[in-house]
């Protein structure tokens, strides 16, 4: 007892204690990065996407997720390595995803679209809300029972998901349904966030192909797809820029008095601008989605040239059924209303949100042919249809 007291009253003891603490503090993740044992053979920084970057090591890969709106904020890391091997020591906090990835569950249909481009929709074993799937392969398997519906708007069926033992669950948000995701994680499942929807540039969303491709060792295939897409997209963008007059464009339809308009910094705003259009709220980036009063939209867009994405409308009658006042818009009188539901199943599956995400150049082509038909004559629209 006396021995301990003499230690505690010894000044030197506290110096050693302080030193010891600072050494420990220095050993957090930040400095761990510098003191790593392994160095990446390759690092992939996406050209457009802000929400992820990938490090390739010998024998494993690490996907780093960060906030697309604030890239200083890291979200989560995933380390992809073969099952049975030891987890790389440098990434103790990363979520492990074991290869080969045999079965996965998609909690969003955009994941289906990305996987389709890579040609690996067969690896999908579960989806949420089967009615909203467009992909023919997955639909067929849903009908036969090979692919299961693991949840709906009300929430996810954790037991079912667990019993399916997928290699990875692809999520689009940690806050969906009743936040089953922490529960799934606690059951030992690998849940990977795919934050493509937080990207505002069309090519950025497509780049999330790389994330999915890295799970299946299809990184090269993804590279080539993306390079083609980028080249096509940029050449179309240059083409659109040659147009002299930019038509004015606005989007969506109101609920009651509130008109939700995409922000000036958004997926659609960028598409419109790249296609040589003038999005009327291009300069308003105050909110992620603008809550505008009907009056304001009418005042600004009554004489606009085009209206895109009027929610679920299929015909002009659908538009006027929601209110006679919409017939006062110039776009209604000139029939210049276009919706991205040309490829849609009867139950609401929309290919724009599946293959469209992975092929932004095709969407751009549609839009350019709408805004500047003379630049791309004889174009068969793929995703957009004109409302009649």
Partner 1 sequence: MFSSRHILLFVVLAVLLCAAFVAQLFLGSVSVPAAEVFTILLGKGKDEILSRIILENRLPGAVGALIAGSALALSGLMMQILFRNPVAGPYVLGMSAGANLGVALLLMGSSFFSFSGILSKFFYSEWGIALAAAIGSSAVFLLVLLVAKRITQSVSLLIVGLMLGSAISAVVELLQTFAGKDELKQFVLWTFASFRHLTPQQVWVMAICCGFGFALSIKMMKPLQALQGGENFAQTVGIDTRRAKQTIIIATGILAGTVTAFCGPVAFIGLAVPHLCRMIFKTANTVTLTFACVLLGAVVCGFCNVAASMPGSEYALPVNVITSILGAPFVVYIIIKQPKTV
Residues that bind partner 1 (CB under 8 A): 152-155, 254-258, 284, 290-296, 298-299, 302-303, 311-312, 317-318, 321-325, 328
Tokens encoding 272: 């419109």
Six token digits for residue 341 = 């539901």
Nearer of residues 323 and 373 to partner 1, judged by Cβ? 323
Report whether 297 contacts 259 (CB < 8 A).
yes
Q: How far is the CB of 261 from partner 1 (least distance, A)?
A: 10
Minimum distance, C-beta of residue 364 to partner 1, in the bound complex (Å)? 25
| Least gap, CB of 175 to partner 1 (angstroms) | 13
Closest CB to partner 1 among residues 252, 343: 252
Burial class (CB in 10 A: 0-12, 13-18, 19+), 243: middle
In the complex, what is the shortest distance from the CB of residue 312 to partner 1, in angstroms, rounded to a whole number? 8
Compute the distance between CA of residue 26 and CA of residue 192 in angstroms, rounded to an integer.
29
Nearest to 267 by CA among 173, 360, 179, 149: 360
Nearest-angstrom CA–CA distance, 309 and 305:
14
Give the span between the Cα atoms of 16 and 78, in whole angstroms. Answer: 37
For the residues of 300-360, what is the DSSP string, one character each? HHTT-SEEE--TT--SHHHHHHT-GGGGGSHHHHTT-EEES-SSB-TTS-BGGGTHHHH-H
When the beta carbons of 238 and 328 are compared against partner 1, the nearer one is: 328
Q: By C-beta, is 61 or 132 nearer to partner 1?
A: 132
CB of 136 to partner 1, least distance (A): 22
Sign of CA dihedral 325, 329, 332, 337: negative
Q: Least separation, in Å, of the C-beta of 249 and partner 1?
A: 18
By beta-carbon proximity to partner 1, the closer residue of 224 and 256 is 256
Task: Give the number of other CB atoms < 10 A from CB of residue 208.
Answer: 25
Closer of 168 and 292 to partner 1 (Cβ) = 292
């Amino acid at each position: 007892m006396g021995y301990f007291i003499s230690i505690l009253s010894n000044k030197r003891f506290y110096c050693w204690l302080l030193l010891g603490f600072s050494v420990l503090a220095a050993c957090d993740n930040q400095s761990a990065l510098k003191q790593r044992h392994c160095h990446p053979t390759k690092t992939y920084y996406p050209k457009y996407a802000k929400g992820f970057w990938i490090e390739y090591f010998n024998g494993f890969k690490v996907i780093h997720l960060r906030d697309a709106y604030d890239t200083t904020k890291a979200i989560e890391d995933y380390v992809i390595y073969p099952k049975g091997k030891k987890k790389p020591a440098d990434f103790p906090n990363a979520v492990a995803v074991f290869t080969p990835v045999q079965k996965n569950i998609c909690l969003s249909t955009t994941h289906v679209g990305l996987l389709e481009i890579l040609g690996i929709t067969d690896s999908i074993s579960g989806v949420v809300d089967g009615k909203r799937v467009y992909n023919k392969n997955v639909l067929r398997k849903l009908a036969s029972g090979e692919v299961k519906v693991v949840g709906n708007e009300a929430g996810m069926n954790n037991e079912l998901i667990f019993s399916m033992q997928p290699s990875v669950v692809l999520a689009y948000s940690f806050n969906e349904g009743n936040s089953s995701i922490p529960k799934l994680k606690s059951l030992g499942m690998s849940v990977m966030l795919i934050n493509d929807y937080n990207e505002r540039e069309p090519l950025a969303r497509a780049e999330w192909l790389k994330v999915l491709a890295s799970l299946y060792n299809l990184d090269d295939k993804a590279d080539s797809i993306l390079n083609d897409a980028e080249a096509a997209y940029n050449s179309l963008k240059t083409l659109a820029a040659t147009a002299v007059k930019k038509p004015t464009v606005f989007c969506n339809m109101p609920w009651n008095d509130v008109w939700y308009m995409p922000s000036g910094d958004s997926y659609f705003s960028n598409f419109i601008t790249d296609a040589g259009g003038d999005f009327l709220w291009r300069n308003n980036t105050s909110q992620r989605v603008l809550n505008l009063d009907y009056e304001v939209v009418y005042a600004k867009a009554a004489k606009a040239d085009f209206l895109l994405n009027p929610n679920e409308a299929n015909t002009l009658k659908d538009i006027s059924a929601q209110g006679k006042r919409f017939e006062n818009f110039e776009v209604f009188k000139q029939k210049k209303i276009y919706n991205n539901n040309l490829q849609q199943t009867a139950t609401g599956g929309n290919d724009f949100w599946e293959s469209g995400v992975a092929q932004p150049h095709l969407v751009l082509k549609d839009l350019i042919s709408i805004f500047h038909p003379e630049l791309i004559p004889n174009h068969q629209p793929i995703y957009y249809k004109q409302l009649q």
